[in-house]
Structure 1
Amino acid sequence: MELVYSVDYRSLPKTSDFLLEDKTVCSLSCKNILAFSRQSSGSKDGCHFEIVHEVCVFDLDRPWEEFRITAEPVPVVYMRWDPSGSRLLIVNAEGTFTVWVMENYLINQWQEFGKTELPGEEVLVLAWLHSGIQVLFNPDKQNVVAYNEKYQRSKFCPTVSLFGNKPMDGWMAVTSSGMVTVGLLQEQGQKVISAKECLAPGYLRLTQADIAFMASGDVMVAASDGTVGSAVQCFIVSVKMENNTCHIASAPGASFFLRSLTDYSSREHQNQLHVSKICFLNRENSDVLLACCAAPGQSCVEVWHLLEQTMPLHRMFQSATNPELAYKMPKWMHKASIQHNANLTDIARPKLPMNRSYNIETTSFLSYFACTYRDGVIKIIHRQSYQVLYTSSMDTLDLMSSLTTDHHHHAGGPHLISCVQTNTGCGLVGQSQGSLCVFRVFNSREGSLQLSAGFVVQMLEYTMFVGYDFWDVLLAVRQGMVEGLRQHVNENFQKQTPSIQEMLRIRVLRLRMALCSIIPSGRPRSAECRALLTLFSITFVLRSIVRPKSVAAQEKSPMEKLSALCSMSSETDLDALIKSLDPDDFIVESIKREKGGQASLHILQPFIQWVADFVLHLLSIVPLVQNGNNMPGAALLRDVGVLAMLRDMLAVIRIWGNVSPACSPTFSTTTPSTCHDCLGHIFKLLSRLGQMRKDGASVELEEGLVDECASLPSKVLVPDFHYSYGHDSCSFAVFTQPPALRFTFGTEPDFLYAVRKGYLEYPSEVAPDTRQKHDIVRHIQLGVRPSRAVRECIRCGACSLLHGTTTSVLLKSWEKRFVVGCLCGGHWKLGAGDS
């Protein structure tokens, strides 16, 4: 375990004449976006007496760039991301529940979605309702190849369901008076339906509570009044929606008394013993409960399991047909106790849904929960055996010396106030006094907690399969493992069914791009993955809009016929190749037709132009790659599948160009007489290159082909290479630096300059850098200073227009694919000049 980086989240000065309580709450989404609250000065002149409480977010990949959601004078006591990572629920000290969503999916533009109030109530626990979707991570299926068999959905019912078992979004909270409140979000009207009900017939006095979801759709609530002599009470809560009204029902469940009542009966601080925290081990599993009893200078975390105990019935109640009939009732059983000579501050629970029946002896998979203490100790405890796997301290994690010298910090040295696991448990996000810290748990330099490459691959594939962000899994990847992981992921992907490959192709390319980006020498390969992302996206759209006139199961589609013809024929003349094809078979039916009745193919011209420019970029670097240059595109020139796909696309472009010349790509030649048919010329070069690679990947290219590719930039103006491979990307640059790093909001680190400088260096004699912004979605040039609002990706820095002007149904559906996030998977933000 080691510290990866820390970031100072305070906006108030560190030195002051008075002491302020520096308290914050945070929540981590499935997209690895951390939301946190902090205190700041409410006046422009920085007056410390006017304090406001800000709620900000930042991406774990770029911890130096924060975005503010809201600021209010009332302290924030709770916040939670929804399961999709698109909504943030904030609760303040006055009992106001507010749901915030991104405006136009921009991370720096937020708007209020709904609000409810529960005045005078102290919220103890808050959770979003379960949607009924649960994909289990089973370590026993590490060697299973098929994704559908390796990651299976469990039988789980949504907490609140509508007609057709459709889940309804909302939240549930428990207050200190024993009241449970539910807020349900409607899809239209931004209206919140709220309801409240008492857990028991009378009001309770609670200090600790937690919520867990059951497979039946009910919710289990565990509560305690803080007294060790009192029982930890459990309630079964059910929520139903009828006639646009929410109904809550509560029933008592099995309760138990803590073991600490007898274990500490003879100790000195018995009278000061109290229950400091109770929580379920996992929100989606109500069978394991953790309860902590604390006294001055000591704490004990007890682990309790909910089991079904068989109760024999008296013979007068037994059935004559089944005399062995027994009654089963739930009962809590004590399993383990973890003691420490300091007070507990927080418990970082695992988020990864797992079946507790997996064999821990044969799989050797490390799933854990972490306990943090006031003396700075962090204990990593096994999820199944409850044995302490690793013990560390904040003093030994290379934490900055400023944390121990700042007089704002509490006594007892540096320690974590709160801690939360990442989605897969490969990292811990902790909140220290004034700092947010990210820790690497597995495969660190110490080598005490190791995760094998097979389990790392399984985690990467799991996040890719369920749609989570895989940034936190990269914490467990050492740079020496990258090449093996890439090959393993690619081999498993090639063994999937064609439908699964088509569905997950974009995600696996994003994963490969991330793996290449975490090593300094892998930036060219990362740029190639980015180009393939665009190529596969455009190819899928161009193929999907071609529909045959008649549908027959035994006949091939026009695109299948074209692909078969191109694969069997070695013809280098483009017009001779497509001569046998009927152009009417490639009529575009799904594009909006004009009044004249002719299909308007010209709306596809930007996508067609990108494909042609990409082929130019590949062909122009053939002489450089032949001389051993490892620049972006070198690996693609050896990929037979990519070359064949580009050859098919050039053939389709020529067919459409003959129907509508407005959709044909444009080329800038040096003289009017040179290369009059540029499309046919690059098709000939591409065909010769593909045939040589098909004969053998290790075969040297013909000297004549290399000479023709070398003379290509002198005949045709090659566009800027950044149009195909992207501009200077700093994604995952944190992994290329040695830990421990320290960041400050608003200040970019110095190592980003070196990363940008060495990202992509293209020879200026082939294609100069125009420094123009390129729309990654619509594939049009925006100029150096766009006049319209532009959104930017917070990770790769790609640009795109915020609003489109097209009226085409096809282009609107294309743009909707990238409304939520960038092509690389990162969130959008509004450009600095447009905010």
Structure 2
Amino acid sequence: MEMLYAVHKKPGTQNNQQILDSFFNNNKNRKPTLCTVSTRNVIAYTTDSDINETDGNHLSGFYVYLADLNTPWLTYRVTTNKFPISILDWDILGKYLLVGDISGNIQIFVQKENLLSEWIQYYHVRLPGEHIIKAAFFHNGRKLVLQPDKKDITNYMDKFQRAKFLPSCRSFGGVPADGVLVVTATGLLGAFLIPPDLPNLNKLATSLSPPTLPQILTPVTQSLGRTRNFITIADICYSKNGNFMLAVANGTIDNPASTMIHCYRVSIKKQMDNLILSSQSLPSFFLTGGAARDIPDISITHLRWIYSEDSDSLLVGTKTPSGCFIELWGLMEKATPIHSHFKHLFQQPNKTEVFKTFVWTHQVNYRYSSRIIDICASKFQYGSSSYIFVSMADNTIHCLHRDTLKRLTNASLTCVWRNENDHVSKQTKIDSTIVAHDITWMGHLLLAVDAEGQLYTYRVSYPHQEQAGGQLSINYAVSLLEYCLVGGYDALDVFLILKVQQLDAIIDRLTENFTRQPAFVQQYFYVNFFAMKMNLYRLSVSGLPKAHDLTSFLMLHSILIGFKSLLRPSVLSSHDKGPAENLAMVLSESVPADIDRLLLGLEVKEFSVEASTLQSLQQLIQWVADLALNILAKLPDSRGMSGMNRSTGYDISKDIVALNSIRELLVVMRMWGLVRSQCLPVFSRSAENLDVLATLYKLLTRLTLNPNEPDEVLLDECCLLPSQVLIPQLQLISSQYCIASPIMFYLTNSNLPLRFEYNTEPNCLKLNSEVAPNEGGMSENIVDSIRHIQLGKKPGAVRRCTRCGAYSSLNSVARTPAMRSWELRWSSGCRCGGFWRLYVS
């Protein structure tokens, strides 16, 4: 493990230490700071101080913050709680953030207007007087498994298999229900359903709109056991039959029962609109049967199921006078012979009968001289390879193997870091204490939070990555990326373990495997695959132009699909094909260079759209024409005679799919121009009689004949194009401060770890795009990456992507259903898959 970066807060902030002492005086095992990472690589953590204030005059309370791991210095406050927070958890989709406290309040927060920087409480549950110690969202029944022996298989359907797993609760029609199960310190179970009809919080609204009041949800409660017992530690996992498995213990009472761990099976069923909770006691065990049987004054401090979807292995952390023990217990089937006096109870008394039962057995243990602070386990299971991360009171983090608890590596927070402007020999020592940590879902970034609410990120590498010569295995990296693609997980933590020298090989292997998939699989993952490919290109300086081309291709593909969806003619010339399919077939069969001759073979009535709708789409039509101009204007430079300018990787001018898509759109524009000429793109021409659309179609048609080696006559005509029409500058990749950037990948170990400050953009990561602009087309205005309209140099409050830095307006400009549908397509996130945040210039 190596520390990648650390984010600290501005000096001067004070903690609410007196409030903490009053709440946690009687329970030293509970900690006021928690952290958890979602499947979308967003970390949420708690702190007792306002990290944005430096004068110490902030309001007393307990704060919840979150940040995208790509821009961890940009933190966003979710809420300020009156009572100490004891539970913090994400749902599997990263949409709901659950916050529970020691006073029985359970709050669920969602994004406001799909902005990562704006969160509102929309659900509230109250269990008066109950200390919430554990909570878990209902399982949706989806589990994707990757086996190492199938990592070389190309087909996604064979490589990734859906395991048989039932949802925790079903609604009408067998649909998995959303809900939460909670456990309190008095042994009380509580469960509630999250309404499936989430109101339209994404509706664009002004900042003056009144806040929405949270919905009050009523929980169903049930005693965990026959009697209510005081518990301090609990953990929840899921079983394949849809039940919850609970392990609880009381680690504060000094008696023999303090070393006993109780296990329960909890099932939830929905009848009509009501939930029914049932709890069943399972085999329990004492720690006296383990490695610490002869040690006095031992107490349980941590319980952790190894996998959240496997109830056969339980990790137990204990505190002893000399340090700590970490023990692994397994649930094994044990056969007990039956005495002859009891054989008559069975159907076949003559046979040798045995009684089979499940018992907990001690397997391995790990001992250390300091007490345990926090424990987490890797969430992604790559075969039998799984790892456990334990943070200790001496500021060390240990990585243990799951089966043997053998320490593989460890890291210390007392290491040194360097300021971005300091000399290499000048170092600063860290003086903080780790209080919580969590691992990302793909298991390659370990996030730790100290008592001051400061963030530390470690890059983790494993032996099963099959490293050769210090390089990450290509097969392993591709398998991880494909798992993220199929499973819907964010791949940011995978990006940060790649090497720049491997990017081209990984992209080529990823593309080769994708092209071998069945047609329906490619169609389903089409957009997400190209977005992942675009993000991979963005990791190197040489890949920035390719990433820009892929961004244009994704936008072109979306516009083509959106325009085709508008074609709903009342009368069809052919019932086998629609107008869009008919147009694609005509373009593929014949290659007429004259766009007007092509229109003679098409039914213009099938492409008719309302005039008001056409006018609202003018900026998208303009962008397609501008893209065609840019492709043709740059063609001579990219096809240099010496061959020095030719580059490998994606090039939109060589993509036959992209070129044919532009041709289809040019034909549709031509026909729509007959209905409403105002919707046509506007060009600055040197001659008024120049038909730009016809010229573009002619040149693109000739380019599709041989996109890799265009003829000299075509290149000469493309060279004359800038003198005939002004080539507008398309929006280039913005300058973005982010972790997943070429600058981070070119840093050596001597430059790490980097030191950042909350709410301060680090100059050491600033990346200036050096893509050469076209002649006469440079503009300093900010362009809306979704609507393709000018926003000005300083547009005020806009949305900005946390991954690629693209801008988008907060206010809707839609006047027709078609444009509203286009805006909703990008309301939940950027075209690259990143998050929108509020940006004020």
TM-score (norm 1): 0.87
What is the correspondence of 1:640-789 to structure 2 with a 5 Å cutoff? 640-673=656-689, 675=690, 677-693=691-707, 697=708, 699=709, 701-722=710-731, 725-730=732-737, 732-733=740-741, 735-736=744-745, 738=747, 739-753=752-766, 755-756=767-768, 759-763=769-773, 765-768=775-778, 770-786=779-795
In 2, Cα distance between the equivalents of 1:211 and 1:496?
Answer: 38
Superposed displacement of residue 632, structure 1: 12
1:381–1:390: 8 Å Cα contact kept in structure 2? Answer: yes
For residues 543 and 17 of structure 1, the distance between their equivalents in structure 2, rounded to whole angstroms, comes to 62
Superposition map of 1:93-172 within 5 A: 93-172=102-181
Rounded to whole Å, the distance in 2 between the matches of 1:66 and 1:43 is 9
Question: Does the C-alpha gap of structure 1 residues 654 and 310 become closer, same or farther in structure 2, counting only changes over 3 Å?
Answer: farther
> Structure 1: any 5+ residue segments left out of the alignment?
361-365, 411-415
Contact 2:169 2:242 in 1 (8 A): yes
Q: Structure 2 unaligned runs (5+)?
A: 22-30, 200-214, 420-425
1:195 corresponds to which of 193, 217, 220:
220
Is 1:319 the counterpart of 2:319? The answer is: no
CA contact (8 A) 1:302 1:337 kept: yes
SS of the equivalent of 2:374 reads strand
Q: Check conservation: 2:417, 2:428, Cα contact below 8 A.
A: no
SS of equivalent residue, structure 1 residue 646: helix
**Aligned equivalents of 1:45, 1:535: Cα separation in 2:** 47
Deviation at 1:440, TM superposition (A): 0.9
Q: What secondary structure, in the 3-state scheme, does the structure 2 residue paired with 1:221 have?
A: strand
User: SS of the counterpart of 1:580?
Assistant: coil
Q: Residues 448, 176 of structure 1: CA spacing in aligned structure 2 closer, same or farther, 3 A cutoff?
A: farther
Which residue is 1:514 aligned to? Answer: 535
* Residue 580 of structure 2 corresponds to residue 562 of structure 1: no
Distance 1:129 1:483 in 2: 40
| 2: CA distance, partners of 1:402 / 1:773 | 40
Q: Name the stretch that deviates more: 457-466 or 433-442.
A: 433-442
Equivalent residue, structure 2, for 1:497: 518
The aligned counterpart of 1:367 is 386
User: How is 1:217-366 mapped onto 2 (pairs within 5 angstroms)?
Assistant: 217-226=242-251, 230-258=259-287, 263-266=291-294, 270-311=295-336, 314-320=342-348, 328-352=356-380, 358=383, 366=385
> What is the rounded CA distance, in whole Å, between the counterparts of 1:777 and 1:679 in structure 2?
23
Which SS does the other structure have where 1:31 is aligned?
Answer: coil
**How far is the alpha carbon of 1:553 from its aligned partner?**
10
CA drift at 1:501: 1.4
Instruction: Give the 3 Å change call, closer, same or farther, for CA 613–312 of structure 1 in structure 2.
Output: farther
Alpha-carbon distance in structure 1 between the residues aligned to 2:290 and 2:17: 47
2:260 is paired with a residue whose SS is: coil
Q: Which amino acid aligns with 1:122?
A: H
Residue from 821, 831, 834 that aligns with 1:823: 831
CA RMSD after TM alignment:
3.4
Range with bigger deviation, 489-498 or 126-135: 126-135
Q: Paired residue for 1:623?
A: 636
Whole-angstrom CA distance in 1 between matches of 2:666 and 2:81: 57
CA distance in structure 1 between the partners assigned to 2:51 and 2:502 by the alignment: 48
- Please give the alpha-carbon distance, in whole angstroms, between the structure 2 residues aligned to 1:396 and 1:49: 31
Asked if structure 1 preserves the Cα contact closer than 8 Å seen for 2:621 and 2:680, the reply is: yes
Matching residue of 2:625: 612
Question: 1:13 is matched with which residue?
Answer: 13
Q: Counterpart amino acid of 1:821? A: G
- Pick closer, same or farther for the CA change 1:37–1:311 going to 2, 3 Å: same
Give the drift of 1:405. Answer: 6.0
Structure 1: how far apart are the matches of 2:18 and 2:274?
50
1:805 Cα deviation after fit: 4.4
Residue 20 (structure 1) shift:
8.2
Is 1:635 the counterpart of 2:685 in the alignment?
no
Query: Structure 1 residues 181 and 603, CA, compared in 2 at 3 Å: closer, same or farther?
Result: same
Q: 1:340 to 1:609 in 2, by over 3 A?
A: same
User: What letter matches 1:669 in structure 2?
Assistant: R
- Work out the CA distance in 2 between the residues paired with 1:271 and 1:497: 63
Q: Is the 8 A contact 2:187 2:224 kept in 1?
A: yes
1:687-715 deviations in Å (ceiling 9; x for gaps): 2222232xxx3x3x444322322221222
59, 63, 83: which one aligns with 2:68: 59
Q: Distance in 1 between matches of 2:649 and 2:476?
A: 31
Cα separation, partners in 2 of 1:585 and 1:107, compared to 1, 3 Å: same
* 8 A Cα contact 2:414 2:429, kept in partner: no
Match of 1:413 in 2: none
Q: How many residues align?
A: 791
- Give the Å deviation of 1:321: 11
SS of equivalent to 2:247: strand
8 A Cα contact 1:443 1:450, kept in partner: no
Deviation, structure 1 residue 130: 1.5
User: Residues 688 and 678 (structure 1 numbering): CA distance in 2 closer, same or farther, change over 3 Å?
Assistant: same
Q: Which amino acid aligns with 1:609?
A: Q
Q: 1:293 corresponds to which letter in structure 2?
A: T
Flag the 1:490–1:163 CA change in 2: closer, same or farther, 3 A.
same
- Tell me the residue number matched to 1:464: 485
Q: What is the CA–CA distance in structure 2 between the aligned matches of 1:617 and 1:44, rounded to whole Å?
A: 48
Matched, 1:428 2:442: no
**Structure 1 equivalent of residue 83 of structure 2:** 74
CA contact (8 A) 2:798 2:839 kept: yes
Letter aligned with residue 646 of structure 1: I
Partner of 2:840: 832
Of 626-635 and 389-398, more deviation after overlay is shown by 626-635
Kindly indicate whether the alpha-carbon contact (under 8 Å) linking 1:137 and 1:352 is maintained by their aligned counterparts in 2. no
Q: Distance in 1 between matches of 2:270 and 2:234?
A: 25
Question: Quick check: 2:16–2:49 contact (8 Å CA) kept in 1?
Answer: no
Query: How far is the alpha carbon of 1:484 from its aligned partner?
Result: 0.9
| Distance in 1 of aligned mates of 2:636 and 2:327 | 68
Counterpart of 2:771, as a letter, is: E
Matched, 1:543 2:564: yes
User: Aligned equivalents of 1:7 and 1:396: distance in 2?
Assistant: 14
Paired letter, 2:242: G
CA contact (8 A) 2:415 2:429 kept: no
The one-character-per-residue Cα deviations of 1:422-478 (angstroms, maximum 9, x if unpaired) are: 011112111234331111112799999975221211111111112221101112211
Q: Is 1:36 matched up with 2:52?
A: no
Determine what percentage of the aligned residue pairs are the same residue. 29
Change (3 A) 1:491 1:376: same
Residue 262 of structure 1 deviates from its aligned partner by 6.0
**How far 1:271 moved relative to its partner?**
2.8
Report the alpha carbon displacement of residue 107 of structure 1 after superposing the two structures with TM.
1.6
Q: Are the structure 2 counterparts of residues 51 and 165 from structure 1 closer, same or farther at C-alpha, using a change threshold of 3 Å?
A: same
Deviating more after overlay: 704-713 vs 381-390: 381-390
For residues 605 and 454 of structure 1, the distance between their equivalents in structure 2, rounded to whole angstroms, comes to 45
Residues 47 and 342 of structure 1: CA distance in aligned 2, closer, same or farther (over 3 Å): closer
Q: 1:142 to 1:569 in 2, by over 3 A?
A: same
Q: Aligned to 2:345, what secondary structure does the other structure show?
A: coil
- Give the deviation of 1:385 after TM superposition: 4.9
Between the aligned partners of 2:799 and 2:654, the Cα distance in structure 1 is 35
User: Secondary structure, in 3 states, of the residue corresponding to 1:148?
Assistant: helix
Are the equivalent residues in 2 in contact too, given 1:145–1:492 (CA < 8 A)? Answer: yes
Q: Distance in 2 between matches of 1:392 and 1:632?
A: 40
Matched, 1:377 2:365: no
Q: How far is the alpha carbon of 1:634 from its aligned partner? A: 8.2
Q: Could you tell me whether the CA contact under 8 Å between 1:292 and 1:302 is conserved in 2?
A: yes
Q: Secondary structure at the match of 1:668?
A: coil
Contact 1:228–1:274 (CA under 8 A) maintained in structure 2 = no
CA 1:16–1:131: 2 relative to 1, 3 Å? closer
Measured in 1, the distance between the counterparts of 2:66 and 2:133 equals: 23
